[in-house]
Amino acid sequence: MILFIEVVDADTAHEKYGVVIDEENLKIDTEYTEKLRKKMIEERGPAKTIPKIRDI
C-alpha cells in the first residue's frame, strides 16, 4: 500500500478542500466546514468522479 500525505496551510485547506480550521486551536471546525462545502457544491455543482479503468 502506498500512502501519500500532503500538508497544506489553512488558506489552501479552505480554498481547495473546503475545510475550515480554527486557527486558535488548530482543529477543524466541522460546523463551518459543512457549511462551506455545501456552499461550494451549490456554486460549482457536485464533484466529478473519475471512471475506473474497468468502467471505460
Supply the pTM of this predicted model: 0.67
Task: Map grid coordinates 466541522 to a residue.
Answer: 30
In this predicted model, which residue has the larger pLDDT, 7 or 56? 7
Is there a domain that residue 54 lies in?
no
Cβ atoms of residues 41 and 30 within 8 Å = no
pLDDT of residue 23: 86
Is there a domain that residue 52 lies in?
no
Is there a domain that residue 51 lies in?
no
Predicted confidence (pLDDT) per residue in 7-42, tens digit? 889 999 999 999 999 989 999 999 999 999 999 999
Residues facing 22 on adjacent strands? 27
Number of domains into which the chain is organized: 1
pLDDT of residue 31: 97
- Confidence band of 6 (pLDDT split at 50, 70, 90): confident
